[in-house]
Amino acid sequence: MATAHTEAPAVGGPPSPTAPAAQDGRTAQRSLLRRLLGRPEIGALIAAIGVYAFFFAVAPSFRQADSLATVLYQASTMGIMALPVALLMIGGEFDLSAGVAVTTSALTAAMLSFQLTTNVWVGVIVALIVSLAVGALNGYMLVKTGLPSFLITLASFLMLQGLNLAVTKLLTGNVATDDISNMDGFNQAKKVFASEIDFGGVSLKITVLWWLVFAALATWVLLRTKFGNWIFAVGGHSESARAVGVPVKFTKIILFMTVGFGAWFVGMHLLFSFNTVQSGEGVGNEFLYIIAAVIGGCLLTGGYGSAIGSVIGAFIFGMVTQGIVYANWNPDWFKFFLGVMLLVATLVNLWVRRQATRR
Amino acid sequence: MDRKTRTRKATAIAAACAAGVLLAAGCSSSSGGKKAQTAANNISAGKATTARIKIAMITHAAPGDTFWDLIRKGAQAAAAKDNINLVYSSDPNAANQANLVQNAIDQKVDGIAITLAKPDAMKAAVAKAEAAGIPVVGFNAGLSAWKSQKLLEYFGQDEDIAGQAFGTKLNSIGAKSALCVVQEQGNVALETRCAGLKKTFKGKVQNLYVNGTDMPSVKSTITAKLRQDSSIDEIVTLGGPFALTAVQSVSDANSKAKVATFDLNQDVVKAIQAGTVQFAVDQQPYLQGYLAVDSLWLYKFNGNFSGGSAQPVLTGPAFVTKDNVATIAKFAANGTR
């Protein structure tokens, strides 16, 4: 089932009855190329190479290994969330609460640890439970009511945004959490979520490593497991999927919980990287996660896409965001340049996909 | 499995989770946390015996901002002292803020304290309030418009003057190339600070726009800029939380740049004490909120005009440096500076 959804339709019509059984080398080669171009992430990969080459040419400081580490860090904090968001989109749903859910998770861990004066790992574990519960609730509401995920998660986005502010104010008397850097367990947690590793003389943030681990795991789930088949099936046509025995409700709830897990992880990075969390953070980031997934080849209609695509999408976004700074372009035009570069990347992706499906 | 069994099972799981959390709560931290935090002293200056009045404070604040939280605390302190029922509301969208003014008029409030971040959009609503006989004072934003819109008084900082003072300060410490980090593109007050800085600073000034709601992105963008331009020796942030992030960026980029900031919070005070942030320009938001509310009470019950209704009352710029930070630290710990 996964194959049916990720590969491009067969190129050309049915073979002629009189045609020889053996194909010549060129036909086989073209077929392989077409199949390769049919992968959801190939367009994004070509766009990424183009964007990288462009900034490599125009921005001398972009060429440094340190600069690549900065780009990867920017991409990883978005990319870790873009992965579950991409899986959810392949499953045919959106989560507009993903941005503020990151902040909810960070606030939960910080405030619980501080207010109860516990080891920070207590806060970390409770934050995980809360994040998974938020995801499960989103999924449950979706399958129970039959309302579009856009509406369900828009409601949870607003509720979480309100809770983030109100509960923080209620417990701390401020709109930001207290500094937890001197509490027990902080240093160990920082090592897991917000440390740096020396990689060939370049300081690489650990989020980059986690991002790649999660990407590999998501790709394996999507392409090598029964659950991966279910994701494509429910996104492609949930009624047909249900008819052939796919547990549609279960699949969707798990996908929302996966987004919850991602929000927890990025939230922990936010907390242990900055020691304190502003309750108003995260608003608007949900769109960046969706953008990364779409640039990476996910369709807004569901049933098509890849985990690797979202990685490339986040990398493109990271390159463009930082590349504009490295290129020292007029900052007044920053958002415009960003929009143009992302549009170009998406158009390249679209063009590649059309080339692959052209008869 | 029948419903009763399912319910029992769910209850057991919930109880186990709750027990786990309580057990974990026993793993208490030997340092930091709530137990180690000294209780904040509430500021109290007696209470007015005048009749209870209702004052609306309407700002352009986005939710969850530490700066605006201080303004609100100041307003609440004045309201508590003056026997005022304070109705606080905010919306960063100018049209929505204008609707909030109309809402206050409908409630027949005794006074309105307002920020004019987008004066033209607020003009009609302010005029309506004045026509309804409601006294209106301005604070924090709208220095150029408060008189033309016939507000009684204005409390705040001239952002241009603050920027100029900042530039002069940078000259005195020998900075040569400054990076002005703007966390919200198009915000007039923030842009004015950077523009003021450019007027007096003898070195080079560059603006850098960052996404203020995404700290990891702020961090990596500042890092990228420091790598792109190694001549930058001073980072100017326009809000306390961004100064602390900039300090991390300096470290990540192995830069020689120093960090200074507009606006203050508890963590910036600690950073100034530690020497990781050079100085901060404080516009005293608590004082802005306090004076805005208190002035309406004084006008209502004694006909007073701060600044004689002709001059604004400037609450800043006040420089907080390593030399004077100790006096401010205890107030910052209380969450009022």
Segment among A48-62, B30-44, B291-305 with least mean pLDDT: B30-44
Cα–Cα distance measured from residue B54 to residue B112, given in angstroms and rounded to the nearest whole number: 9
pLDDT of residue A7: 37
Sheet holding B154-156, edge to edge: B84-90, B53-59, B111-114, B136-139, B154-156, B313-314
Please report, as a single letter, which amino acid is at residue A181: S
Task: Out of A114, A117, A285, name the one closest to residue B214 (CB).
Answer: A285
pLDDT of residue B305: 79
B68 neighbourhood in chain A, CB within 8 Å: 175
Cα–Cα distance measured from residue A36 to residue A49, given in angstroms and rounded to the nearest whole number: 16
Quick check: A175 and B29 CB within 8 A?
Answer: no
Chain B: closest CA distance from residue A351 (Å): 30
Q: Name the CATH topology of B53-157+285-315.
A: Rossmann fold (3.40.50)
Domain count of the fold of chain A: 1
Q: How confident is the model at residue A90 (pLDDT cuts 50, 70, 90)?
A: very high
Q: Please report the residues numbered 6 through 45 in chain A whose beta carbons come closer than 8 angstroms to any beta carbon of chain B.
A: none
Q: Which of B243, B272, B68 is nearest to A274 (CA)?
A: B243
**pLDDT of B2 higher than 60:** no
Mean pLDDT of A180-199: 90
The mean of the pLDDT values for chain A is 85
Task: Out of A71, A165, A182, name the one closest to residue B31 (CB).
Answer: A182
Q: Please report the residues numbered 82 through 101 in chain A whose beta carbons come closer than 8 angstroms to any beta carbon of chain B.
A: none
pLDDT of residue B34: 62
CA nearest A120 in B: which residue?
B29
Residue with tokens 């990288």, as numbered in its chain:
A52
**pLDDT of A331 higher than 60:** yes
> Any idea what the CATH number is for the domain that residue A299 is in?
1.10.3470
Quick check: B32 and A335 CB within 8 A?
Answer: no
Quick check: B27 and A119 CB within 8 A?
Answer: yes
**Most confident by average pLDDT, A2-6, A29-33, A244-248, B332-336:** A244-248
Give domain status of residue A2, yes or no.
no
**Which residue did the predictor score with more confidence, B134 or A237?**
B134
Q: Calculate the CA B246 to chain-centre distance.
A: 18
**pLDDT of B33 higher than 80:** no
Mean pLDDT of A245-262: 95
**pLDDT of A194 higher than 70:** yes
| pLDDT tens per residue, range B193-247 | 999 998 999 898 999 989 888 999 999 999 999 989 999 999 999 999 999 999 9
Task: Out of A118, A169, A270, name the one closest to residue B24 (CB).
Answer: A118
Mean pLDDT of A319-327: 87
pLDDT of residue B221: 95
Class of domain B159-282: alpha beta
Please report, as a single letter, which amino acid is at residue B255: S
Quick check: B21 and A122 CB within 8 A?
Answer: yes
A74 neighbourhood in chain B, CB within 8 Å: 216-217, 220-221
**pLDDT of A240 higher than 60:** yes
Give domain status of residue A105, yes or no.
yes
Give domain status of residue A32, yes or no.
no
Chain B: closest CA distance from residue A137 (Å): 15
Host domain of residue A230: 43-357
pLDDT of residue B77: 96
* C-alpha angle A21-A26-A28 in degrees, rounded to nearest 5: 55
CB proximity A184 to B under 8 Å: yes
Beta bridge partners of B207: B180
Quick check: A282 and B214 CB within 8 A?
Answer: yes
Give domain status of residue A1, yes or no.
no
B74 neighbourhood in chain A, CB within 8 Å: none
pLDDT of residue B164: 94
Give domain status of residue A30, yes or no.
no
Residue with tokens 């700066």, as numbered in its chain:
B67
| pLDDT tens per residue, range A262-316 | 999 999 998 999 888 878 889 888 988 998 998 888 888 888 899 989 999 999 9
Q: What are phi and psi of B335, to 5 degrees?
A: 80, 25
Residues of chain B with CATH 3.40.50.2300: 53-157+285-315, 159-282
pLDDT of residue A30: 52
**pLDDT of B175 higher than 90:** yes
Task: Out of A164, A270, A328, name the one closest to residue B215 (CB).
Answer: A270
Cα–Cα distance measured from residue B206 to residue B286, given in angstroms and rounded to the nearest whole number: 30
Give domain status of residue A3, yes or no.
no
CA nearest B30 in A: which residue?
A184
Cα–Cα distance measured from residue B180 to residue B209, given in angstroms and rounded to the nearest whole number: 9
Q: Supply the Cα-derived Rg of chain A in whole angstroms.
A: 22
CB proximity A188 to B under 8 Å: no
Give domain status of residue A17, yes or no.
no
